[in-house]
Amino acid sequence: MASPTYERLKLRNGLRVVLAPDRSAPVVAVAVYYDVGIRSEPQGRTGFAHLFEHLMFQGSASLGKMELVNQISASGGVLNGSTRLDYTNYYEMLPSNALDRALFLEADRMGWPAVTEENLANQIAVVKEEIRVNVLNEPYGGFPWLTLAPVLYESWANAHDGYGSFEDLSNASLDDARDFFDAYYAPGNAVLVVAGDFEADQAAELVHRHFDAVPRRAVPARPDFDEPWPTSQRRGEQKDDMAPAPAVALGWRVPDPADLDAYLPYVVVASALATGDASRLRRRLVQDDRLATDVGAHLGLMEDAYDVRNPCPFVIEAHHPGEVSTDRVVAAVDEELDRLATDGIAGDELTRVTARLRYALLASSDNLLRRTLNIASYEQQRGRAELTHEMPDLLDQVTAEQVADAAASLGPDVRARLDLVAGGASS
């Protein structure tokens, strides 16, 4: 299959644009990625990146509250947004004859969102309710994506609660919100991707028509969030009275995801350990020894292996019956990691694992919206939208030796261990 072609623009206000025509179906997708996420929010303003994502749906200079959502829906489209460690994104997919409308809507909120006292107050209330539902009143709430980070990391940027504390959210002022917008939502701090059924010159004209008017503002320097690696095991405990059974999360630092040669072997290790019934930890812990009821392994606290910056963790999470000690579960994990490091991975297993990873990426790219988000994240994170179609082949180049070396680095002396204690029992 021929590699797709991308056309790039850079507007006078600094906005970077990637156009990815695909005339195979009469639909288009639009994604805007702002280079601000949980790690960028100011100290004392936990949850602010997520809060501001909510504010961007509350209207703009030309649109009242919820009109953006209504206009996309009336066009037969879908839309959403999300907040991650290293970006906040907004996106929609809709019929191709509505591209002009989608670009107008994104430009209007990029330049002139309705950041008002009323909108700020009601979205603080909405975010607090999300925290109650998804964390405070949910078994395993925040485990491990919120609660492992402060065990593994030392710096505030990497370790703090990205959902936010009620105190910090309550103390957020309108000036805080406007300062956050001015600092991080400048056009030069964003990437716009348009993909689907259009001619490139037509889409470029529409991009200029709607986004050229967005004022240029200073772009903040992106901080370096790196910090020293652990030199000993770090331990933590999370008590959860609502959890029906205990669990454990193990986390290790891995090489900078920008260094794909060093990083991708860990993606293969995670899949070999815990993806599918034939994977090593599922066979050992769940099927054979029955030490665990479920086990998983992934890169990134939010399971975003391909679009996260340094520092990034390798995470193993296991849920187990109360009569099985957490130490037994962890010992079995260590044995399987040691076996992978010492005995290596056979050619047929490596082929099976990389084929599964390749399939997942290729299947993702078949979906226009998912492909658009991949293009946007690779361009924002790496300046390489082309990784959307290159990544499957890069995974296929990972060797058995690299997999063994990656597994060997996941030892107990450099990891974070977080024990979740169910029902108030002690571990």
CA dihedral 130, 133, 139, 141 (to 10 degrees): 10
If pLDDT is split at 50, 70 and 90, which confidence band does 42 have? confident
| Segment 277-281 mean pLDDT | 96
Question: pLDDT per residue over 118-177, tens digit each?
Answer: 999 999 999 999 999 999 999 999 999 999 999 999 999 999 999 999 999 999 999 999
User: Which residues are CB-neighbours of 189 under 8 A, at least 6 positions away?
Assistant: 14, 34, 35, 36, 219, 220
The share of the chain scoring above pLDDT 70, in percent, equals 98
pLDDT confidence band for 2 (50 / 70 / 90): low
Query: Which residues on neighbouring strands pair with residue 318, listed in sequence order?
Result: 248, 295
Is the distance from CB of 211 to CB of 187 less than 8 angstroms?
yes
Fold (topology level) of 234-422: Cytochrome Bc1 Complex; Chain A, domain 1 (3.30.830)
Residue 369, Ramachandran bin (φ over 0: left; ψ between -120 and 50: alpha; else beta): alpha
Q: What percent of the chain has pLDDT over 90?
A: 96
- Position 4 scores a pLDDT of 80
pLDDT digits (tens, 9 = 90+) for 318-354: 999 999 999 999 999 999 999 999 999 999 999 999 9
Domain ranges of the chain: 7-211, 234-422
In degrees rounded to 5, what are phi and psi of residue 232? -155, 165
Residue 217 near residue 226 (C-beta atoms within 8 A): no
Closest by Cα among 182, 420, 188, 398 to 317 = 420
Do 234 and 413 meet the contact criterion of CB atoms below 8 Å apart? no
pLDDT greater than 70 at residue 425: no
How far are the Cα atoms of 5, 66, 82, 111, 264 from residue 195, in angstroms, in the given order? 11, 25, 19, 22, 27
Q: Whose structure tokens read 């002139």?
A: 112
Bridge partners, 247 (sequence order): 319, 420
**Would you state the pLDDT for residue 427?**
45
pLDDT at 5: 85
Q: Distance of alpha carbon 170 from its chain centroid, rounded?
A: 26
Q: Looking at residue 98, what DSSP letter applies?
A: G
> Are 7-211 and 234-422 the same fold in CATH?
yes
CATH architecture of 7-211: 2-Layer Sandwich (3.30)
Does position 95 have pLDDT exceeding 50, yes or no?
yes
How far, in Å, are 57, 110, 374 from residue 187 at the CA level?
A: 18, 7, 20
**pTM for the full predicted model:** 0.95
